[in-house]
Amino acid sequence: MSDFTETDSRSEIAALSHEVYRLTKQLEEQEQRRLAEALPDKYDPFDNPTEYKGFCGDYSKILPRITETGYEIPLEPDYSERRALKRSYRRGGWLMIFQYVFSNGLGYLLVQLVLALMLAVNPDAGSAAITEYVRGSSILVSINMMVYILCNVGIAVIGMKWAGIKYTSLVRTNDFGAGRAFQYCVIGLLLWTVSLYFILGTKDVFSKYGIDIVPDLSGVANTYLGKTVNLLYACMLAPMTEELFFRGVLLRTLAKSNQRFAIFASALFFGLVHGNLQQFILAVLIGIFLAHITLKHGSIIPAVIVHMCVNTASSIIGYVSEISTVASMISYLVLLAVSLLGVIMLLVFLGRDKLPTPTPKQARRGVLVAVGSIPFTGAVVIYVLDILYKLFAKK
């Protein structure tokens, strides 16, 4: 009988020990979960429900203290956080400065090299005649295409290495299909139509002071080959390379703490880089939308598709308008019908996906910090002065 009691007691002790161990592990797991919940999410430290998750990257690289238990991000960034944020904004500014210097410098050098070679081969031809030939043939548009492809892709690669952006993150698309592609393209055409009216109004205002905001493209790429090269670049290569740079790299570089700021800042630079007031209006307006859908889907693919659609429609209508007045009227009536559908689709889109709204903490980490970055502000000033110079130089 005593042997049975001793064995039974050992079993009970073992069962109790196992239960104590299980409860201890359960308490440890609960404590770990509690501590994890007490820590800010380093990929979403501002807990902003209006922003798109996972796009801004690891904020602990900006503010390492968010990994500390119980740490709360202050309303105003301290010196070290402000300096780290400025570093990101400096990168964006330098990328835009590189874009300006290399695109203009390389373009100028190539054009001068071609003119010099052609003058050497044809010494009897005057420089004015050669310049006119280069302008009207496919040479000038080919140089323009090569320069901007090299600059957009090359500087984008530099920016990705600089900011630690992975190539796969640019094309890993979420929740996107044919239906959304159609919706976004129609919205893009609507925004293009709206921009045309803004451009007409702006043109009327400036014309009263003898200033023409429309760039002079007369005599450019008059040959079939020139027009083909221009179409290839405008409808395919420009959308892909520009989206790689502006929405793939620049938007991510500027979106560390405030997605709304990044949307408008990248759209502003996208407009400024076009170098004239006419295209600036369209590029800023559609750039806001392209940045928005890039944030929503985490990829540049939707923006590339919309960009291609708008540029293709613009090119087709431009060439059709040269055929006859009737063809021009028909094309614009079709565009108007598509735009009316676009109004409905835009309202549906904004009903579900409004632009991100920054929290008070984020508002103090966007434009207020960016303007203190000399390369960022300097890039804006350089591009603005360039557009103003071109405007008043034509007067």
Whole-number Cα distances in Å, 224 to 137, 140, 216: 9, 14, 20
Answer for the pair 288, 313: CB distance below 8 angstroms, yes or no: no
Residues facing residue 41 across a β-bridge: 44
- The tens digit of pLDDT for each residue in 119-133 reads 888 888 888 889 898
Residues facing residue 219 across a β-bridge: none
* Tokens of residue 46, six digits: 């501002």
Rounded to whole angstroms, how far apart are CA atoms 163 and 249?
8
Q: How many residues belong to the chain? A: 395
Give the 3-state secondary structure of residue 172: coil
**What is the per-residue burial (b if ≥16 Cβ within 10 Å, else e) of 147-181?**
bbbebbeebbeebbeebebeeebbeeeeebeeebe
Using only C-alpha atoms, what is the Rg of the chain? 28
Rounded to whole angstroms, how far apart are CA atoms 81 and 365?
9
* Tokens of residue 19, six digits: 């239960």
pLDDT at 261: 97
* Tokens of residue 98, six digits: 């590189």
Answer for the pair 285, 191: CB distance below 8 angstroms, yes or no: yes
Domain extent listing, the chain: 79-393
pLDDT of residue 88 exceeding 90, the answer is yes
Answer for the pair 28, 34: CB distance below 8 angstroms, yes or no: no
Q: Which backbone phi and psi does 394 adopt, to 5 degrees?
A: -80, -15
* Tokens of residue 115, six digits: 């003119």
Exposure of 100 in the CB half-sphere (CA atoms within 13 A):
24
- Rounded to 5 degrees, what angle do the CA atoms 220, 335, 327 make? 60
Residue 275 region by backbone torsions, left for phi larger than 0, else alpha for psi between -120 and 50, else beta: left
Report the range of poorest mean pLDDT among 4-8, 207-211, 332-336. 4-8
Confidence of residue 1 (pLDDT cuts 50, 70, 90): very low
Residues 6+ apart with CB under 8 A from 298: 52, 54, 55, 169, 172, 173, 174
Confidence of residue 6 (pLDDT cuts 50, 70, 90): low
Confidence of residue 329 (pLDDT cuts 50, 70, 90): confident
What is the amino acid identity at position 32? Q
Whole-number Cα distances in Å, 89 to 34, 248, 255, 268: 35, 15, 9, 14
User: What's the rounded mean pLDDT across residues 200-225?
Assistant: 87
User: What's the rounded mean pLDDT across residues 84-101?
Assistant: 97
Answer for the pair 238, 343: CB distance below 8 angstroms, yes or no: no
Answer for the pair 357, 50: CB distance below 8 angstroms, yes or no: yes
Rounded to whole angstroms, how far apart are CA atoms 162 and 169?
15
* Tokens of residue 157, six digits: 């690669």
pLDDT of residue 340 exceeding 80, the answer is yes
Chain-centre distance for alpha carbon 216: 27
User: What's the rounded mean pLDDT across residues 5-9?
Assistant: 63
Looking at per-residue pLDDT, the higher value among 251 and 122 belongs to: 251
Answer for the pair 162, 89: CB distance below 8 angstroms, yes or no: no
Confidence of residue 3 (pLDDT cuts 50, 70, 90): low
Looking at per-residue pLDDT, the higher value among 41 and 9 belongs to: 41
pLDDT of residue 377 exceeding 90, the answer is yes
Report the range of poorest mean pLDDT among 3-7, 42-46, 76-80, 367-371. 3-7
Answer for the pair 269, 383: CB distance below 8 angstroms, yes or no: yes
H-type alpha helices, the chain: 2-38, 79-121, 127-136, 139-163, 178-207, 224-232, 238-243, 251-254, 259-272, 277-297, 301-323, 325-352, 360-363, 367-370, 374-393
